[in-house]
Chain A
Amino acid sequence: MDILCVCGHGIGTSVLLKVNVESVASDLDMDVNVTTADIGAAKGTADASDLVMTSPQLAPQLDGVTTPIETVNNFMDTDEIKAILEKYDD
C-alpha cells in the first residue's frame, strides 16, 4: 500500500515518521511504499495514496482529502505506529 507521511515542510518530522513506518511495516511483513510531503503538496497528492499519516496538529489542514488520515502522537513509539498499520494490514 502507498502511505504518505505529511508534516509542515516535508523534510524533518515526516522523514522520521517514514523511517519508523518502514521499519514497523517490515516487522509486520507488510508491503508498503512510503513517501513524504509538506502540508501544501499533500493536499494535492494525498488522494493518490492509500493512507495518510501526520500529527494531530496538522490533520485539520487536510480537510477535504478523501484518503483515510491517521494521526500519530508519538512519532518515536513503534507500538503506536504498529497499531495503526495493523488496521490496514489485510
Chain B
Amino acid sequence: MANNDATSDIDGFLPDSSFLLDVPAKDWKDAIRLAGKGLVASGFTTDAYTDEMIATVEKMGPYIVIAPGMALAHSRPSDAVLHTGLSWVRLSTPVEFGSKANDPVGLVIGLAGHDENEHIKVMSAVAGALSKPEKVKELATAATADEIREILNR
C-alpha cells in the first residue's frame, strides 16, 4: 500500500520534464541553474526560485552537498514555489561546490516544497535509493528518466 503511494508520488514529482541527463555545467551556480530549469519546465517553480537556491548556498555555504557527489538544491517555501516537486540533473562532468567532504558533485537534485510533510514520501524513496551504493551506481548509468524512476520506485 505504502509502496503504491510512493510510486505515484514519484511519477508526479519527477516527470520527464524535470530530468536533465548528462548535461555540462561550468560551475556550481550553473549546475543549480540547471536544477532550476528542470523545476520551471515541470511547472513546479518560477525562475525566482532558481535565484533563491543559488542565494541559499551563497549565504549558508555548500551544506546542500549532503553526500559524496550529490547536492540537494533547494530554498525555502515561497511564492516562487507553485507545486511540490523535484528535478534530477546528472552532469556530464562533476563540478566543485566547495564542500570539503563531498566534492565534486555529479548529481544535483532540485527540490521545491511547500512544507516538509508534502514530499516526505518522495524524499524517503530518494533517501532509500541514495543510501544504497548499488542503487547509486545504477542511477549514475541509467539511460532514461523511466529507468531512474523505476530504480527509485523499487
Contacts and interface: CB of A to CB of B under 8 A. Distances in A.
Nearest to A12: B74
A1 B102 CA distance: 29
A13 B76 contact: no
A20 interface: yes
Contacts of A56: 63, 101
B131 A76 contact: yes
A75 B74 CA distance: 16
A61 B92 CA distance: 35
A57 interface: yes
Contacts of B1: none
Interface string A40-80: 00000000000000011110000000000000011111100
Contact of B76 (A11, A17, A55): A11
Given A38-B76, A73-B102, A75-B66, A10 B131 contact: no
B64 A75 contact: no
B134 interface: no
B63 A78 contact: no
Contacts, number: 82
A11 B77 contact: yes
Contact of A15 (B68, B123, B130): B123
Nearest to A73: B101
Given A36-B116, A55-B66, A73-B102, A12 B127 contact: no
A74 B56 contact: no
B72 interface: yes
B113 interface: yes
Contact of B131 (A14, A58, A78): A78
B67 interface: yes
Nearest to B59: A8
A16 interface: yes
Contact of B101 (A9, A36, A39, A74): A74
Contacts of B116: 10-11, 14-15, 36
A3 to B, nearest CB: 15
B15 to A, nearest CB: 19
Given A23-B128, A57-B62, 5 more contacts: A13-B66, A20-B127, A23-B131, A56-B63, A56-B101
